[in-house]
């Protein structure tokens, strides 16, 4: 670990910079294919590369985005000019990261609850990713809320997986993003989500402690505390902000430098407004920012449509969305700004 402290410090200092967030561009081939197909965009190795190059080559992106999480395919690809993506990003002043988990599998004898696979051979893969330029990594665990879930077994299994992964990352000089995602699906109230969030985060940090993970060199990527999609009572941005910050204050040590939320099925506007609400609350010991995928990309993908002639317009919309979230990460966003950017 001591050999890697300087690497970890340099990476976390850049990723935790105030007013900057992280772009999650690490959708699996299956996921991005579904999104492309909905817009009649063919999903090939070239189109996926072209789309992600369009995003990361957006002029001025480094003002608002400090890092980009890549899928393994993209990490190994080159831009049209022949430059490896990690090298290209670093030239823009943006750090490249890598999704390292291998997806979800069902936990036997549970109600279709899931845990994350990918620990086998992880240290060897991390060494390879670092050699290719990756500075940080991501591992996602998911929890579904119902009357009987998440179970104690699922909470424990996912906490151990996240901690094992985080320890392996730090041992290889890579900053881990620890992502416990509580799914938005369901009828649960915001109060039920808050209860589950506290249980999940308590277990995660207990496991991180057992695995000797240095909290100063991790990024927490949680979901916001929010009512389920099918809940009759939809939580306001103020309620989401208060419930989220309360849950974090009860479970997340102040040693964690930055908390970069996932958007998890929220609309781009909701994700930005909710983040802004948290940053309008005084006294938070951590940087509160974003690590969004669809909430950053959605409008730009719909504008691009796989056509090179739409590239400049798509980049303009993408940059505007990144700027709004940058403002939200310092509590300076207003909904009136949505009209000014012609996004909504």
CATH of the domain at 328: 3.20.20.70
Average pLDDT over every residue of 76-99: 98
Q: Structurally, how many domains does the chain consist of?
A: 1
Surface-to-core class of residue 201, CB atoms within 10 Å of its CB (0-12 exposed, 13-18 middle, 19+ buried) = buried
Tens-digit pLDDT profile for residues 222-237: 999 999 999 999 999 9
**At residue 207, does pLDDT exceed 50?**
yes
pLDDT for 3: 77
Average pLDDT over every residue of 146-169: 97
∠ CA 335-338-339, nearest 5°, is: 110
Beta strands in the chain (DSSP E): 21-25, 65-70, 95-99, 104-106, 114-116, 136-143, 175-182, 219-220, 258-261, 287-292
Range of the domain at 286: 2-340
The closest of 312, 229, 304 to 266, measured between CA atoms, is 229
pLDDT for 344: 42
Beta strands in 228-279 (DSSP E): 258-261
**At residue 288, does pLDDT exceed 60?**
yes
**At residue 75, does pLDDT exceed 90?**
yes
The closest of 59, 52, 60 to 23, measured between CA atoms, is 52
Structure confidence at residue 167 as a pLDDT band (50, 70, 90) = very high
Tens-digit pLDDT profile for residues 184-194: 999 999 999 99
pLDDT for 339: 80
Average pLDDT over every residue of 150-157: 98
Mean pLDDT of the chain: 96
Do the Cβ atoms of 143 and 183 come closer than 8 Å? yes
**At residue 333, does pLDDT exceed 80?**
yes
Average pLDDT over every residue of 11-29: 98
**At residue 316, does pLDDT exceed 80?**
yes
Tens-digit pLDDT profile for residues 234-281: 999 999 999 999 999 999 999 999 999 999 999 999 999 999 999 999
Structure tokens, 153: 């077994």
pLDDT for 340: 62
**Angle between helix 294-304 and 311-328 (nearest 10):** 160
- Residues carrying an active site annotation: 179, 221
pLDDT for 2: 66
Structure tokens, 228: 């389920």
Average pLDDT over every residue of 58-73: 98
Do the Cβ atoms of 173 and 167 come closer than 8 Å? no
Report percent pLDDT > 70 for the chain.
Answer: 98
pLDDT for 341: 62
């Amino acid at each position: 670990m001591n050999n890697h402290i300087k690497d970890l410090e340099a990476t976390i200092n850049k990723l935790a910079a105030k007013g900057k967030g992280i772009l999650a561009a690490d959708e699996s081939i299956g996921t991005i294919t579904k999104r492309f197909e909905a817009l009649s965009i063919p999903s090939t190795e070239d189109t996926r590369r072209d789309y992600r190059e369009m995003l990361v080559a957006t002029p001025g992106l480094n003002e608002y985005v400090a890092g980009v999480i890549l899928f393994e395919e993209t990490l190994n690809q080159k831009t049209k000019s022949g430059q490896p993506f990690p090298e290209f990003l670093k030239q823009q002043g943006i750090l490249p990261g890598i999704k390292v988990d291998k997806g979800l599998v069902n936990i036997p004898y549970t109600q279709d609850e899931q845990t994350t696979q990918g620990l086998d051979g992880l240290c060897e893969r991390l060494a390879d990713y670092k050699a290719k330029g990756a500075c940080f990594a991501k591992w996602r665990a998911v929890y579904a809320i119902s009357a009987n879930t998440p179970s104690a077994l699922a909470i424990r299994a996912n906490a151990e997986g996240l901690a094992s992964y985080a320890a392996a990352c730090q041992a290889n000089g890579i900053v881990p993003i620890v992502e416990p995602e509580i799914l938005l699906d369901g009828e649960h109230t915001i109060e039920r989500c808050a209860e589950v969030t506290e249980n999940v985060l308590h277990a995660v940090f207990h496991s991180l402690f057992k695995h000797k993970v240095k909290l100063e060199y991790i990024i927490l990527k949680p979901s916001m505390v929010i009512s389920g999609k099918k809940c009759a009572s939809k939580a306001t941005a103020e309620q989401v902000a208060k419930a989220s910050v309360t849950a974090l204050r009860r479970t997340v040590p102040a040693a964690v430098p930055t908390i970069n939320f996932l958007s998890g099925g929220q609309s781009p506007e909701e994700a930005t407004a909710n983040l802004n609400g948290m940053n309008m609350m005084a006294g938070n010991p951590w940087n509160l920012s974003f690590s969004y995928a669809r909430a950053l990309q959605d409008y730009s993908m719909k504008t691009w449509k796989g056509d090179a002639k739409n590239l400049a317009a798509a980049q303009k919309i993408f940059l505007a969305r990144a700027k709004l979230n940058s403002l939200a990460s310092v509590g300076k966003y207003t909904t009136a700004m949505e009209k000014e950017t012609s996004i909504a």
